Structure 1
Amino acid sequence: MLSRVRRLPTALPRASPRHSSLFTRRHASHGPYPEGVNPYPYLDDSFATNTMHAVGYFGRLFKFTAVGAVLLGTTAFTAFEVAHQYVEHVKLAAEQDPEVKNWQWELEAERWTGSPKGGSDSGLGYRGRHTVRAAWMALYWGAGQKVVASNAFSGGSSGAALAPIDANLEYAQEFLESAIRFAEGAKKIHPMTLATLIARRADIVERIGTVGALDEARAEYTRVWRALGGQGIDAARVALKLGNLNRRLGDQEDALLWWTRTLQLLQATAILSKSPNPLLHPPLLNEPSHQRCWFRPSTRRIRPQPAPLPPRPSIFASASPPQALHFLYLLHRSSMLSVHHAEKPAAAESSERVARSLTLAPEGSRIQKNHSPLLPTEAPLSTMYDNPLRDARSTAAKAWNYLGYLTEKSSAPDASARALECYQRALDWAGVSRDEDGGAGKAGEGVAEADWKVYWADYVRARDVTKGKQQK
């Protein structure tokens, strides 16, 4: 029976020569592999394995992208908030210098909130406060472009041509317009916040300068006047603004009316003088801000008494900057009043004195003696006084040019030579880079190109007339 049991094979059957030769021909180029190892495992991978591999790859890509986006967004938001907090606590902070407060310059500074603590009004909420700060950023840090085309202030007609407007002013007033809407809908804001924001937008719109913008600014200041109830120093400043805007728009009678209101409001808080006509003789104004406001209405029919001249420029070294600026301001406004009332030499000399006080130009500059190459418009600035200096230069140039015109029209024998001297002094205050032979220069900072062309044309005409007479 055991013989009938078949013996099991002791070894695996050997591959036939035909299969062996086929495998050898297919894989001979790949070299030898251990027995039982497949050199191409991917031939046995399932579809599910490949799919999971792709999902895992894109999952990691999505994860890294999401992390990067979160980090980038966090960084951008942090920078955004840091910039806003910097504006809130630094740029919009209340004035702390006691000397500035002593001369009340903080009352004339730009206001972006009704609170004396500075910053934006917390009652505006998160979006409202950010809008106010965005308006400040657009105005002073720029909006990323120089001009924009807009018909918002081109005259009120929908078919009016687009006018190029300074982008900073345009975006700033748009942000403030949004902030005003937030203030109108807020429940708990400072009583002066709304009026302050309206006044700030009116000031920016006025600087756009078109007829439509001036008309819009006048309407906004009228809103502020009504909100203030026509009382106090702030109302006096608003009345002054309305007078100036009406004058620029050609409404002379309304301008005179608003300027008169300005003086009347100032008199209400001052010691009245015994003059029968207090509009022509100022009361005793004790507050520096009231004194500066009194000197601003300047027409042929309202003429406040000129202020006494401040000390010589060398004495200003011992005065604080706010104090020096106050007296220089009064002197400059007095010179502008002199221009309006045909007192051209007094106006020119006062403006020159203010300008020299605000620069490091020596007393022997060419404006006085013809041996110094330094022009007043090229003298270094006392950095705090750049705006008053531009005004003083402009007034001095205008006064000397007027004086030259009047001298040229006179019947004096040396009228042309004297007029030429006046025109040259006007150019010295208005222009820069003019050589000794009278070569053409260019308008200085703060001098309108149109005014410069008038000064230059008058100078060239008088120079040619003088040369012609000398040749004869």
Structure 2
Amino acid sequence: MRQTIPVSALKSSLRLVRIQSATSRSAPFPPCTFTLLRRLTSSSTRSAAYRPPVLPEADLPLGAVDSGRSERIERVKIGLRLFVRYCGWGLVIVAIGLGGLFEGAHLYVEKYKLPPVGDVDSGSTSRLRSSTTGENVDESSSTDYGWEDEMLSWTGGSTGGTSPRLGHRARHALRAAWMSTHWNRTNQATLAEQGWFEPDFMLLKRLQAEEANAPPPMLVEQSALSMDKYLNTVIQMAKSNGLSFPPELSVTRPPGPPDSTKEGSMCDPVVRDLLLLKASNLERMATKTALVDAKEIYERVLIATIPRGTSTSRQDARSMRLAKKVGGLCERIGADKEASQWFDWGLTRAGIHLNSLSSSAPSSSSWFGSSTPRLSFDPSGLSPAMLRATISLLTSVESYHATHAQLEAAWNVQSAALSFFPQRWQTNSALEQDNAAAALHQSWLQSYQATLQLHHASVAHAIKNKSALSIAEEASSLAEQNLKVMDPVPSFYQPPESSALTEPARQLHRDALLVAAESSFTLGRLLETTRQPDLSKVADLFHRAAELDAKQSGRTEETVTGGEWHKYWRNYVRVKALMGETVEPPFKDFDTDFKGRDEMAMDVIRSVTRKFINWFEPSRETGQAGGSASQSRA
């Protein structure tokens, strides 16, 4: 049968065609087209959801696609430019900050930590009492205290800081040397004669040396090593800048001091300061090679600074201090005969000869005879700087004789040196108001008098002299009296009151604590040897010695573990045990054998390292290795 289309549907279709033909002139895509297609296909797609047609990208206008891509690329470029700009500015700011900190630290050290050394004797005319005669003298005429000569100058001299003659780079290196020794308080490093090695490797070498009964390598502070490298750099730069250094010593020269008839060449003060800094740091390193090098440097400086013609007291005092340095280094490296020659040579600069000790004053308590030796020489004509240098040299001489069991010579030198000190001391309060240098000079004399009396008591006890106890009591009393003045360090010795007296005052404060500690311990030991000793007083003296020794180290008894403190504490515990009392350890993990924490740490490292090596030895069996491992864990 032929299918017929309803008349109504046909009319509707024709009506839509007329509408399409009418609107085709105005719009390329009339909406009626989509309606017609949807109606014609409504029988097959009636249930499907409507999805508008998606035109491909190729059919979009070319300008729209390029504009979208260029916009994204432009955004990336802007982001990269901002990132590079901010990173660049950040690096510039960091560089400026680091450079400012670097130069600021150097400027701080230059202006505040390296003060001028020539501002002590300003020529004031205050009336002071002579240190030897007790008479009032004019300071401007005869009291050149010379404290600035005893300080280590960093080439700046009276202006302070470093010398401009060294150049910009050398001055920075010299200030870095100061920073390394004052601000770099790191652990010790290992030094071997053939060079520097890694700590782990040198630890194994140390263990092997201990097992072979060989001496372990020397340990040197890292700050001393850094300072030595910087000073070597400064010296090389100074040579390249044209500064003249003293000639090297001839290998064929005879040992001992130079010929007094030969005059030394003029030594550049900057060069002299550099060499003295180098020698002082080598002394601090304290290895055999470093001590020999320091001795040669001191000899070079001494020979180059021997004054031409008539010398001043300050020049002679400087020569005596250098002679003491060289003699002490000779004694440390085993050249005892040469050390004695240097001590004698230094004393001759003050007009003192050791063979001038006479026996003109009778004494009933002398162990060596019926007289007490004295010098045929009046020390009242010595300036304060010369007096300090002379007493310091005499102390080195008597210590040299005492350590070599030459008790008679030590006793004679001690008795002669004690005659240099005044019978009465002026109160420090009066001196402080007039001149801080004079007060420091008197405190120095009191400290050395206590030291000499302490040595005198030790020698008297060794020779069975009954006056040993009374001498020790006098030494302890004088040391405590001086300690009351120097502890804490008075403010007029510190900046801004005085810059050149700061370092000598700090050293004297440390020496006063050490002398007071040793005098208390010596007095306690001598009291303990009496027939009926007062153990309570002896224990108090030993505890006082331990307390002062801990104080001079800047730590408390709970943290100090080395030096003489062990000796003082061990005797204190022993005396307390004799009294029937027990003493609690100063800290919780204190070893009963009085080992320091550093020694205990080294013991742990050695034991762990040995066990670690045993684990990997091929000759060890598995069972033994397991047993050692279990023991180490236990």
Query: Shorter-normalised TM-score: what interval?
Result: 0.7 to 0.9
CA deviation profile, 1:99-156 (whole Å, cap 9, x unmatched): 578532222222110644332222221110110111112222x13x512423157999
1:50 & 1:354 partners in 2: Cα distance?
84
Contact 2:119 2:158 in 1 (8 A): no
The verdict on how the C-alpha distance between 1:326 and 1:228 changes in structure 2, with shifts beyond 3 A counting, is: same
1:227 & 1:156 partners in 2: Cα distance?
33
1:139 & 1:396 partners in 2: Cα distance?
28
The number of equivalent residue pairs is: 411
The answer to whether structure 1 residue 218 and structure 2 residue 325 are counterparts is no
In structure 2, the residue matched to 1:389 is 509
1:431 to 547, 551, 571: 547
In structure 1, the residue matched to 2:93 is 71
Q: 2:564 is matched by which residue type in structure 1?
A: D
The answer to whether structure 1 residue 43 and structure 2 residue 65 are counterparts is yes
In structure 2, the residue matched to 1:201 is 278
Q: 2:327 is matched by which residue type in structure 1?
A: G
Unaligned runs of 5+ residues in structure 1 are: 1-8, 29-37, 360-379, 433-441
The verdict on how the C-alpha distance between 1:139 and 1:450 changes in structure 2, with shifts beyond 3 A counting, is: closer
Counterparts of 1:252-263 in structure 2 under 5 Å? 252-263=336-347
1:311 to 422, 426, 437: 426
Counterparts of 1:327-338 in structure 2 under 5 Å? 327-338=442-453
1:323 to 438, 443, 453: 438
Query: Is the partner of 1:150 in helix, strand or coil?
Result: strand
Contact 2:545 2:568 in 1 (8 A): no
Residue 243 of structure 1: how far off its partner (Å):
2.1
Q: 2:543 is matched by which residue type in structure 1?
A: L
Structure 1 length normalisation: TM-score?
Answer: 0.72
The verdict on how the C-alpha distance between 1:315 and 1:124 changes in structure 2, with shifts beyond 3 A counting, is: closer
Counterparts of 1:104-253 in structure 2 under 5 Å? 104-113=146-155, 115-140=157-182, 142-143=183-184, 146-151=186-191, 163-187=218-242, 191-229=268-306, 232=315, 233-253=317-337
Counterparts of 1:279-290 in structure 2 under 5 Å? 280=375, 281=377, 283-290=379-386
2:193 & 2:346 partners in 1: Cα distance?
28
In structure 1, the residue matched to 2:404 is none
The verdict on how the C-alpha distance between 1:381 and 1:266 changes in structure 2, with shifts beyond 3 A counting, is: same
The verdict on how the C-alpha distance between 1:400 and 1:235 changes in structure 2, with shifts beyond 3 A counting, is: same
The verdict on how the C-alpha distance between 1:256 and 1:341 changes in structure 2, with shifts beyond 3 A counting, is: farther
1:344 & 1:40 partners in 2: Cα distance?
110
Q: 1:241 is matched by which residue type in structure 2?
A: K
Contact 2:486 2:512 in 1 (8 A): no
Residue 333 of structure 1: how far off its partner (Å):
1.1
1:25 to 36, 52, 56: 52
Query: Is the partner of 1:151 in helix, strand or coil?
Result: strand
Deviates most, 247-256 or 196-205: 247-256
The verdict on how the C-alpha distance between 1:451 and 1:23 changes in structure 2, with shifts beyond 3 A counting, is: same
2:425 & 2:523 partners in 1: Cα distance?
24
Aligned CA RMSD, in angstroms, stands at 4.2
CA deviation profile, 1:368-412 (whole Å, cap 9, x unmatched): xxxxxxxxxxxx5535444323312322332343344344445xx
The verdict on how the C-alpha distance between 1:63 and 1:394 changes in structure 2, with shifts beyond 3 A counting, is: same
Higher radius of gyration, 1 or 2: 2
The verdict on how the C-alpha distance between 1:193 and 1:150 changes in structure 2, with shifts beyond 3 A counting, is: farther
1:338 & 1:422 partners in 2: Cα distance?
20
2:98 & 2:121 partners in 1: Cα distance?
40
In structure 2, the residue matched to 1:370 is none
Question: Matched residues, percent identical?
Answer: 23
1:13 & 1:400 partners in 2: Cα distance?
119
Query: Is the partner of 1:295 in helix, strand or coil?
Result: helix
The verdict on how the C-alpha distance between 1:10 and 1:287 changes in structure 2, with shifts beyond 3 A counting, is: farther
Q: Compare relative contact order (CA 8 Å, sep 6+) and give the higher one, 1 or 2.
A: 2
Q: 1:306 is matched by which residue type in structure 2?
A: F
The answer to whether structure 1 residue 293 and structure 2 residue 389 are counterparts is yes
